[in-house]
């Protein structure tokens, strides 16, 4: 069983490791260079009790990634909307953790008076797009060729759901 716990700064090395794995995939995040713990540390300051940052734990008590509910666009009219992010260790992908984490994030969001969730996924990240679709998200937008990583142009899918 997977659990979400409010992230602690001691979890930072796991966050950095998992995020760098995502960077190396070249179709998960828009960062192109790996980051250090120092560069990753500000993630804690961008979250608060209304938009938490979580460490993801597996049933053996191992930290396997992180997830967050992020402020959407930073204007008060969007207070009932959040963008969700999930980053899992490469050793755990494809084992159902993403589905469970997304379900838990939806429960957390509802308890925080968030009624709309969004997700930004490169079209080339097929597993993540399938996850959003499987969880009942609708494709609310597509930004063609908006990102440039290495010699590739990537499309950005914008997923959304009323919860």
- What local confidence, expressed as pLDDT, does residue 74 receive? 87
Contacts made by residues 8-15, CB under 8 angstroms, sequence distance 24+: 8/55, 9/41, 9/44, 11/55, 11/63, 11/66, 12/37, 12/40, 12/41, 12/44, 13/37, 14/55, 14/63, 14/64, 14/65, 14/66, 14/89, 15/40, 15/43, 15/55, 15/66, 15/87
Tens of pLDDT, residue by residue over 40-78, are: 999 999 999 999 999 999 999 999 999 999 999 989 999
Average confidence (pLDDT) over 100-107: 98
CB neighbour list of residue 34: distance below 8 Å, 6 or more residues apart: 20, 23, 24
Mean pLDDT of 88-114: 97
Q: Read off the pLDDT of each residue in 94-107 and give the average, rounded to a whole number.
A: 97
CB 43 within 8 A of CB 14: no
pLDDT in tens, 135-162: 999 999 999 999 999 999 999 999 999 9
**pLDDT number for residue 26:** 97
- pLDDT of 124 > 90? The answer is yes
- The percent of residues above 90 in pLDDT, for the chain, comes to 99
Which fold would CATH assign to domain 3-115? Aminopeptidase (3.40.630)
pLDDT (average), residues 106-115: 98
Q: Each residue of 129-141: pLDDT tens digit?
A: 999 999 999 999 9
Whole-model pTM? 0.96
Q: Percentage of residues in the chain with pLDDT exceeding 70?
A: 100
């Amino acid at each position: 069983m997977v659990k979400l716990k409010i992230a602690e700064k001691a979890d930072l090395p796991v966050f950095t490791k998992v995020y760098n794995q995502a960077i190396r995939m070249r179709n998960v995040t828009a960062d192109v260079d790996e980051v250090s713990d120092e560069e990753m540390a500000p993630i804690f300051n961008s979250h608060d009790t209304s938009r938490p940052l979580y460490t993801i734990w597996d049933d053996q008590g191992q930290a396997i990634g992180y997830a967050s509910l992020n402020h959407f666009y930073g204007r008060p009219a969007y207070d009932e909307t959040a963008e969700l992010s999930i980053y899992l260790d490469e050793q755990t992908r494809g084992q159902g953790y993403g589905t469970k984490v997304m379900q838990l994030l939806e429960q957390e969001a509802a308890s925080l008076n968030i009624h709309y969730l969004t997700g930004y996924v490169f079209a080339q990240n097929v597993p993540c797009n399938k996850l959003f679709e499987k969880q009942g998200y609708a494709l609310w937008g597509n930004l063609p060729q908006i990102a440039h990583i290495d010699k590739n142009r990537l499309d950005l899918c914008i997923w959304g759901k009323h919860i």
